[in-house]
Structure 1
Amino acid sequence: MTGTLTPSRTAPRARVRTVSPLRTELRRGLGPWSGAAVAVVVLVTMYGKAPAWQSRWADVTGLLHVAVALLGGPLALAAGAWQGGRDRRRGTTELWESVPRSRLSRLLVSVAPSALWPVAGALLADAVCLLATRPYVSGGRPRLELLAADAVALASLGALGHLVGRLVPRRLTAPLLGVVGYVGLGVGTYAGGAARWLSPALEYRWAWGRPVWWFAPVSAGWTAGLALAALLAYGARTARSRALAVVPLAVAVGAAALILRLPADEGPWRPDPSMIRPVCDGGTPRVCVTALDRKLLPSVSEVLAPVNARLRGLPGAPARWSVGPLDARPGDVQLLDPAADAVRGRIERPDLYRNFAVMQLFSDTCRPGDLTGPDAERAMTVNAAVIQWLAPTPGGFGPDVAGTRPYIDRLNSRSPAAQRDYLARYLAANTCHPDEVPVP
């Protein structure tokens, strides 16, 4: 009788789930809260200034640059210091050092939350603001390389704060370091000469320019080099290993040397020919803006339409209204930057913008000795009256010039033909010579 062989059944092996120390560190402590704090602070700040940046990529990236560095930087320093001093405050330093990894490896894992979470919060705020700007910009592109350099600077500040927290594990270290960081970043923006471009919080807003191609990576090398040098010097056990800190320190010094060679005023910015190309409407007088603001052209043309209706065809009327750094031509009248008064693609105060345009039209550059004599006061009153007649000053803006109302009433009482005749005579007169100014 032969027996049957039955296969032996063995109990299934339990799966051992290994958890990465980096993942554990990223999920515990103050790291996630620091990222959320940076995102909230930057977004709240940007929301309060939304009308100032939603028309141009240069404006939104410039304000994000300042908000992330000047507000997120101190938060990253303080959160990093608190995270860095946590193990010593809890008395778990020996337990952490018993992990079978090198000291530098353990240091990099523990620094990761202090460096990465503030960057995550800043990048989230960047993405939200860029998406909010996209429907209203006319041209160009966001300077993502500059935002990336800002993220590197923020990570470096978080890492440096972590090291300070390890060296001085006191509860007051974090808030004091945050205050010192805010003051230091703010004061650094007032440095003289090209040294101010070393500050990660310096505001730069050159709407019609672009940075030289190497500025963003060199700026990142400047801040990251300092942080990596400090990490290597602290985390290495032997003198030979500490000598490796010279490499990132040399990178930081070389990057700083390049930045210090920039012009003190313009810094890394150079004119962008594609942004200063004129875009004009078909009206008379013409309204011309740069390609950077071509989406604002319909709004600017609509604002100036009532004035153009009265100036059209008159001798002495402007050849065109120009906005931005366009090539000046005879008969041009320079207008205010429309993006400064625009909200989501439209001029917010058309009455105020129109009034300023007319003031520019009648703003003669007089020499010393002009506007004198017995008719000087009357000439200035007539000038104010003509401006108010063409484009009344909104209430609360600018002083009321006494004596203008009779002249305005006389102009309003005339026929359209008589009004055009007087306006032609006024445009032909030299308003710097009071005796030539015609009285309505």
Structure 2
Amino acid sequence: MSAFPSVPRALTRASTRHRLLALTAAWLLSRALMLWLLAHNTLRLLGHGAVAREVWKLYGHWYLVLSRGAFPAHDTLWQYPPGAGPVLLSPALLPGLTYFQAFVALTLASDALITLALARAGGRPGRSLRGAVYWTLGLPLLLHVPLARYDVQVTALAVLALLALPRFPRVCGALAALGALAKVWPALVLVGVPRGGPTRSAWTWAALAGAAAGAVLMGAFRNPLAFVRQQGGRGVQIESFGGTALAWATHAGWPGKVRYQYGALEFTGPHVTAVARLALVLSAAAFGLLLLWRVRARRWTPATPYDAALCAALLFTVTSRVISPQYMIWLLGLGAVCLTSRHTVQGPVARLVALASAVSVIAYPTLYGQVAGCTWTGCVLMLVRNGLLGAAAVLSFARLWRSTKSAASARQPEPDPHRLQRGTLSPS
């Protein structure tokens, strides 16, 4: 409305307040529903308690090990970088609660921080509240799963890093590095940083912050690199693209089996190793595509860093040997950041991600037995979910490529005074 001078400013401010009040109400109601689902997660359609068990049993066990100053060196389920340690220890900040209660409370706090940051960014001139709405309504599509995984905390670091980039590229780099230390993927938010000064600042501070935090963690805990061995031994999870292909192959006579190992249900049998290696090759190809895009890109709009981050996360998700349900949290967060900008080209991609999230939660936890049993229902579910993710990845890269290919194909960004002061809007 602010684009029309005839509209009184008071009316514009009132409209904004009403939208923010509606957003707050939607957040409170949806999170109350997620908490109710978590409290009743022993129901059959909610996973028979498997979702909450991840926190009170697995995370709780790791908490005891970490509190003694060591990473779980000989635990095949420990596959996370050293930065995951402080996140799993953080419930100690709320001593009046059980570990489970404190973990969920901190996850909700991180969720609220993301929503607040998106709403604040979307309320600026030339920006949009669509990102905050997308996150508020998109996260509950995953039911109660986000409350029982530490991916919301990691997503918060990635979201804050991207939103800080226009004004504070150094902060962006530092937050991205801290996120990468906890779960690697937040490093992808640096893929689309504009060339020149912003890239030097963000990447330099990412290296410095990562090195400093890594040194502290290595000094504070024993066995900080224990996760490498466990991560390297992982196979093909049933929810990955390779897993979907193998699940369909069982109906054609392939003799492979599903087995619980490395903290997930994975396929074992002939050709599984080849499928896993193919996934690694495809991940390398995805890296090559992103590198090619960055070299060939000619124009950056204010949304390009956001769009590139979502595209990169999608490419590495669809080529991964593992696509756990919580991976959708990352994509929802990055999609929300894209939608805060009116210059984004990833709107259709964000809608595909939301649709894939809705299908994903049917596969886990609702009908996970069907997926694990490679039934026709399970196979169709994973084909649809992964088909949506694959379509989103292809569309995302195509739209990103076209939007930055040449000056003629890029929409002209509106000047941002903060960025103009630092000379970050000009193309490299």
Relative contact order higher in (CA < 8 Å, ≥ 6 apart) = 2
| Shorter-chain TM-score above 0.5 | no
**Greater percentage in helix:** 2
Larger radius of gyration: 1
Scaled by the length of structure 1, what TM-score is found? Answer: 0.27
Scaled by the length of structure 2, what TM-score is found? Answer: 0.28
